């Protein structure tokens, strides 16, 4: 999917405007505070129904206004177009997809897959497993049609089991254990299968960003002792589960780890190298989506690229992106940060959008 057109109204410091971006690489330039991240947030809102900066989407409404709106048209690789929209009011959020109100933001996500690389992305490797599960699940979601349903059912059953644990109703647990085994195994297998498919592309992408690395591994952990089945782990851990009042084993505790030269990437790599590995992971995920036979291709948002990487790696990344069939939006304060001229370049000045040096399809507002 590529974003063919976006329109916004009262989005943070961006008053009103529209833009028809390029299906490849787009550069958004502007001084600090000009609205670059806000524009990325608007694009993100279309695919996820939420911001990547804050959980409080109401913060996106321009001060002094009562509502904000972002609408857009996306086009898949066989040419089908979809219209997307998100309208924010004080305390309300309305989603639109092809003229209807979808049941949840999952429908937007299915239509317009978006990934973000921002200064906080290193948390993917440096922090707890939640983000890594989300990373895997994002990829699996597009590859495996039954995954979301299995995950939802699993989480529902997990909630029942945890309630029974807290109420100490142990005699009722076995039926729920069996359900957890069923859906939990499906979820863990789907993640493992995805990890195995991602690894060759990760290895290939790492060659570009970390050429000194000769060996990289990705290992998914299902969330329970792999020597046992999930149901066995649930039975064995019952005393601990009863003490804690929740289920300790299952794919809700799943994770993945990266190994570099036989060592844990987390412990082995420098901060800058970790950043590059995170970039490689996210790009490998986008490449896998591109290579699979779904109509989707990912759209990638990279916020504040120049402050993230040194000049050499920054240019390597931009060259790499230019070779991919991937729509990408990069923000920067200065075009001279890049060796390559990125023709699809727009300027923001104190929330005003200028498109004077970009391709003719773009409308100036
Ligand atoms: N709800 C809002 N209404 C109006 N302005 C806002 C709102 N929220 C944030 N702003 C302002 O919008 C401006 C643009 O913020 P944004 O983060 O998009 O800038 P930026 O171009 O990414 O800057 P930087 O280069 O520093 O990252 C900031 O001055 C910010 O204070
Ligand atoms: Mg910014």
Ligand 1 atom index nearest CA of 62: 3
Q: Where residue 358 falls among pLDDT bands split at 50, 70, 90? A: very low
Residues in a beta bridge with 302: 117, 330
**For residues 181 and 234, is the Cβ–Cβ distance under 8 A?**
yes
| 65-119 residue pLDDT tens | 999 999 999 998 788 999 999 999 999 999 999 999 998 999 999 899 999 998 8
Ligand 1 atom index nearest CA of 348: 21
8, 11, 13, 61: which to mutate for ligand 1, most atoms within 8 A of CB? 13
11, 15, 36, 354: which to mutate for ligand 1, most atoms within 8 A of CB? 36
Name the closest-CA residue to atom 30, ligand 1.
33
Q: Where residue 339 falls among pLDDT bands split at 50, 70, 90? A: confident
Name the closest-CA residue to atom 12, ligand 1.
13
Distance (Å) from CA 178 to ligand 1 centroid: 50
Name the closest-CA residue to atom 25, ligand 1.
32
Average pLDDT in the 27-45 region? 96
Task: Please tell me if the CB atom of residue 38 comes closer than 6 angstroms to any atom of ligand 1.
Answer: yes
| 159-194 residue pLDDT tens | 999 999 999 999 999 999 999 999 999 999 999 999
Lowest mean pLDDT among 85-89, 121-125, 355-359: 355-359
Residues in a beta bridge with 73: 5, 83
38, 58, 69: which to mutate for ligand 1, most atoms within 8 A of CB? 38
pLDDT at 155: 98
Q: Where residue 364 falls among pLDDT bands split at 50, 70, 90? A: very low
Ligand 1 atom index nearest CA of 35: 18
Distance (Å) from CA 63 to ligand 2 centroid: 18
Task: Please tell me if the CB atom of residue 13 comes closer than 6 angstroms to any atom of ligand 1.
Answer: yes
| 262-316 residue pLDDT tens | 999 988 898 889 999 999 999 999 999 888 766 667 799 999 888 778 889 999 9
**Both structure tokens of 196:** 């195995």
Q: Where residue 153 falls among pLDDT bands split at 50, 70, 90? A: very high
| 207-251 residue pLDDT tens | 998 999 999 999 999 999 999 999 999 999 999 999 999 999 999
Name the closest-CA residue to atom 7, ligand 1.
12
């Amino acid at each position: 999917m590529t974003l063919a057109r976006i329109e916004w109204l009262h989005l943070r410091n961006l008053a009103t405007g529209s833009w028809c971006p390029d299906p490849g690489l787009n550069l958004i330039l502007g001084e600090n505070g000009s609205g670059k991240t806000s524009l990325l947030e608007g694009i993100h809102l279309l695919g996820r129904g939420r911001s990547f900066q804050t959980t409080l989407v109401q913060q996106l409404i321009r001060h002094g206004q009562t509502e904000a709106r972002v609408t857009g048209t996306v086009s898949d690789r066989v040419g089908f177009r979809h219209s997307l929209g998100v309208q924010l009011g004080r305390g309300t959020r309305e989603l639109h997809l092809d003229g209807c109100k979808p049941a949840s933001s999952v429908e937007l996500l299915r239509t317009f897959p978006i990934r973000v690389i921002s200064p906080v992305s290193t948390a993917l490797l440096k922090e707890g497993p939640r983000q890594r599960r989300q990373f895997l699940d994002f990829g699996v979601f597009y590859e495996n049609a039954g995954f979301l349903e299995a995950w939802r059912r699993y989480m529902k059953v997990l909630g029942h089991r945890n309630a029974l644990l807290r109420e100490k109703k142990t005699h009722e647990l076995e039926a729920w254990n069996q359900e957890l085994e069923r859906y939990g195994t499906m979820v863990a297998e789907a993640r493992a299968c995805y990890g195995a498919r991602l690894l060759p592309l990760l290895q290939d992408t790492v060659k570009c960003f970390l050429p000194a690395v000769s060996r990289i591994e990705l290992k998914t952990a299902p969330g329970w002792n792999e020597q046992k089945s999930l149901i066995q782990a649930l039975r064995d851990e019952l005393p601990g589960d009863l003490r804690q009042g929740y289920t300790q084993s299952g794919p809700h505790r799943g994770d993945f780890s990266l190994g570099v030269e036989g060592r844990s990437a987390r412990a082995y790599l420098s901060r800058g190298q970790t950043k590059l590995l995170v970039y490689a992971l996210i790009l490998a995920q986008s490449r896998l989506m591109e290579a699979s036979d779904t109509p989707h291709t990912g759209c990638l948002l990279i916020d504040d690229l120049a402050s993230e990487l040194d000049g050499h790696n920054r240019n390597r990344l931009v060259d790499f992106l230019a070779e991919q069939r991937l729509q990408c939006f990069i923000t920067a304060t200065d075009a001279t940060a890049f060796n390559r001229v990125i023709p699809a370049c727009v300027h923001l000045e104190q929330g005003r959008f200028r498109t004077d040096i970009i391709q003719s399809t773009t409308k100036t507002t």
